[in-house]
Structure 1
Amino acid sequence: MRLPLFAVCLFSAAAYAPVPARADMMIGGFATSAGQNHPLRHFHPGAVGSDAPVGEIDGSNTQLYQPMFGTYEPAEQVVYISDFGGKAIRVYPAFATGNVAPLRVLNPPLLGQTRANAPIPAHGELGVIASNCCIYTYPLRASGENAARIRGLNWGGGADPTTRLNNPTALIYIPATDEYAVKDYPPATPLATHIVFHARTANGAAAPTRLLTGAGVANAVGLAYDAGSRRLFVLRQMPPDGMGIRHGIIAIFADTASGDAQPLDTIEGSMTQLNLPDGRYFSGIGFDPYTSRLMVSNPGSNAAANRVLLFDYTPGVGGNVAPVRVLQGSNVSPYTVGIPFGVPSAPPNVIFQNGFQSQ
């Protein structure tokens, strides 16, 4: 039967309606020896407890050893993975599964052990933490051992402390201010952590644009960012109290905060499950912009005790709130769990066609 023209038009509009926004968590971790692969696992937003991942990138072709951190880049629909022990940034199709080889591998010797990365497609650049000391910027699609830097910010823990970069362990990019930000600490005082901000275009022994210091960021162990609400999330872990408990806090700041600023809000208290016995620690914190969800990972004493705590984030709402979901067990990581990050549950160009999803 032939459909009337208006019916055809309505069908066409419905067929190409975008899939409602949903997102999954992706997470890697640390294998215990260079001969082992650690998978990148992809979890449904409703996953809870020991639920299995909905997919994973795993196998010898992946080259993954210690994929501790990653970021999703939507324009190319890839993930940039910081392989710490593998001393490389490896790039994969974000929605691939199985024994997938990387699309690109960035591994110049200067990169060394890299803890984090920040793709900046608007400028065609990729910021990375290099050799546990510095911020280097490469072309976004650079690859290979001979890739040349665009620029680099020097270590500031030696004779020239100007950059204030001593041991940067987390990196984000703030589009509104065109700055990098890292979690760091001064030499010899790891408990006096601070957030160091640098202009994206800074090079060499440049001074920071600002520092976020003081009690609000003391004992920081992780840093995440939401460009939508322009909020920084600083994960803190306090020294043990008299009962042998290390209290965990998520301190929330405007992305323009500096100096001895106090957080706008915090997530802390017994209901949060952020309080850990002495000797236990966090891998880090991530923010999923697709579900507005904070994700905190906690390695267990063995793989069965690995955990990820997921909190819904609404600006202005904090306090002693319970996580909306807790993932736990070797399904999170077969070894030591890394830092979670958000990806869409399907590519942005997936459409409904005849009742089915297609691309």
Structure 2
Amino acid sequence: MAAMILGSIILSGWHFSWADSIVAQEECPVAYQDDPSCMITTTSGERVCVDDVAVRLEAFTEQANRDAVKPLGGDIPAVRSIVDPHPAFVGVAVDPINDIVVMADTNRKSVVSYDRNLSMSKSGETSDIRRQIIGRETNIGFVAGVAVDPARRELYAVNNDIEDTMMVWSYDSEGNAKPSRLLAVPHQAWGVALSPSRNEIAISIELQSAIVIYRREAIGLEAPVRYLRGAQTGMADPHGIYWDDKNNELAVANHGNFRGLLKNTGMGCEQVAASNVPDEGGQFQPPSITSYPATAKGDEKPLRTIQGTRTQLDWPMGIDVDAAHDEVTVANNGDNSVLIFRRTATGDVAPLRALRGPRTGINRPMGVSIDPKNNEIWVSNFGDHTALVFAREASGNAAPKRIIRSAPASAPSTGFGNPMAVAYDSKREQILVPN
């Protein structure tokens, strides 16, 4: 039996140190039938032949060297990896004037655009990308909402959980392109909406349950011109936002988790921008759609609130307003559906229409965008590398008119959404990834 302890080896009670080799050694006082000069006395008092010990020690050392764990270092490839090499769609915005559609890709950290009328057939092949903005210089991270400015041919994108920035590029940007404007925004921004008439941008902030409004040309550390935040607003973990310029309103999709109010102490990531607002605890609220005047600020009540069990709202993400037909549409991520309400509806009301069912192909929808010119609804799926195009009046278990694919139809999706940790379940032999 052998063990190693702090630079020493113990062999069945024989103790040798690396410095002295032998703890106790003496000449044999009496003759020994083999060779008295080889005899030693161990610390336990046992008389053994040093030659036998040396042979055993050499064998033990060789085995220890073979079994030793060599430290890792350098550029070492992973044994295996779980990775999705294809774009995963989040926010979506269609520009029917210039015939393009733009989508945020949180998986590859990119923004992609496609020709609007691409993929007239429902082939299982990957669709051709028009442009992809991707690379270190782009500042794209965990990107979420997108918006387009058809007149100026500009696209906007906001980073969500990490980078806390909004980026702007021209329609013709691609590859590792620096943004033409980069704006610092509060932590956990998600949606972005543009008002051409007011020349302003509105951004939803999850953590603060707030909307911040900036000049359209804002850049760097520029402060917002106003913000909408407080218990009376009814906002709770807002995600999708749309600026209805025709009716001069803002529409917001809320998950329902109100995190409370804290004073801004200047330490970062505080949940309210005003130092004179009292602290208030958080609460769970039902998901909702809230609408405000475009000029709303501070702790202002909504004009209307769609909320309740009849609404079927469940983790509403992207939102869009069809001002021409007086409808509001949300991507209902929680139950794989798209819900369409009357724009002026309020209270616990049922949707006018719902897209839901296996034929729709809706799979973890993150964004919606209305194309009033071509009478279509765009839906971006996070669950399976697709964006779907439906007739505007479609309802029930209706099939899409067209499908854009960022990967072949058979390609699996990891479903990773900003994973921050990993754990191993030894009982089930499974890797657990919280997103």
Partners of 1:107 and 1:26 lie apart in 2 by: 22
Q: Which moved more, 1:133-142 or 1:253-262?
A: 253-262
Report if aligned partners of 2:102, 2:111 keep a CA contact under 8 Å in 1. Answer: yes
Q: CA RMSD of the aligned region, Å? A: 2.8
Identity of aligned residues (%): 23
One-letter amino acid of the structure 2 residue matched with residue 106 of structure 1: L
Segments of structure 1 that go 5 or more residues without pairing to the other structure are 1-19, 32-36, 239-246, 339-359
Partners of 1:295 and 1:151 lie apart in 2 by: 31
User: Who is 2:247 aligned against?
Assistant: 177
Q: Residue 165 in 1 paired to residue 165 in 2?
A: no
Partners of 1:220 and 1:226 lie apart in 2 by: 21
User: Who is 1:34 aligned against?
Assistant: none
Question: Which of the numbers 3, 9, 23 marks the counterpart of 2:99?
Answer: 23
Change (3 A) 1:71 1:166: same
Equivalences for residues 1-359 of structure 1 within 5 A: 23-31=99-107, 38-44=109-115, 45-47=117-119, 49=124, 50-84=126-160, 85-108=162-185, 111-130=186-205, 132=207, 133-145=209-221, 147-154=222-229, 156=230, 161-184=231-254, 185=256, 187=258, 188-189=283-284, 192-214=286-308, 215-222=310-317, 223-237=319-333, 247-274=335-362, 281-300=364-383, 305-314=384-393, 317-330=394-407
Report if aligned partners of 1:83, 1:89 keep a CA contact under 8 Å in 2. Answer: yes
TM-score by length of 1: 0.71
One-letter amino acid of the structure 2 residue matched with residue 273 of structure 1: G
One-letter amino acid of the structure 2 residue matched with residue 234 of structure 1: V
Partners of 1:273 and 1:21 lie apart in 2 by: 27
What secondary structure sits across from 1:287 in the alignment? strand
Partners of 2:414 and 2:170 lie apart in 1 by: 23
Change (3 A) 1:22 1:92: closer
Change (3 A) 1:329 1:73: closer
Segments of structure 2 that go 5 or more residues without pairing to the other structure are 1-95, 259-282, 418-435
The Cα offsets for residues 259-308 of structure 1, whole Å up to 9 and x where unpaired, read as: 2233222223332123x5xxxx33333334454332223334xxxx4222
Change (3 A) 1:75 1:327: closer
Deviation, structure 1 residue 212: 1.1
Change (3 A) 1:205 1:21: closer
User: Who is 1:17 aligned against?
Assistant: none
Report if aligned partners of 1:23, 1:291 keep a CA contact under 8 Å in 2. Answer: no
One-letter amino acid of the structure 2 residue matched with residue 216 of structure 1: T
Report if aligned partners of 1:193, 1:218 keep a CA contact under 8 Å in 2. Answer: yes
Q: Which moved more, 1:212-221 or 1:96-105?
A: 212-221
Report if aligned partners of 1:221, 1:284 keep a CA contact under 8 Å in 2. Answer: no
Partners of 1:129 and 1:25 lie apart in 2 by: 22
Structure having greater relative contact order (Cα 8 Å, sep ≥ 6): 1
What secondary structure sits across from 2:298 in the alignment? coil
Partners of 2:197 and 2:187 lie apart in 1 by: 26
What secondary structure sits across from 2:311 in the alignment? helix
TM-score by length of 2: 0.60
Report if aligned partners of 2:201, 2:213 keep a CA contact under 8 Å in 1. Answer: yes
Give the paired residue count. Answer: 286
Deviation, structure 1 residue 88: 1.0
What secondary structure sits across from 1:256 in the alignment? coil
Partners of 1:288 and 1:57 lie apart in 2 by: 23
What secondary structure sits across from 1:116 in the alignment? strand
Report if aligned partners of 1:295, 1:311 keep a CA contact under 8 Å in 2. Answer: yes
One-letter amino acid of the structure 2 residue matched with residue 101 of structure 1: K
Partners of 2:416 and 2:219 lie apart in 1 by: 27
Deviation, structure 1 residue 60: 2.4
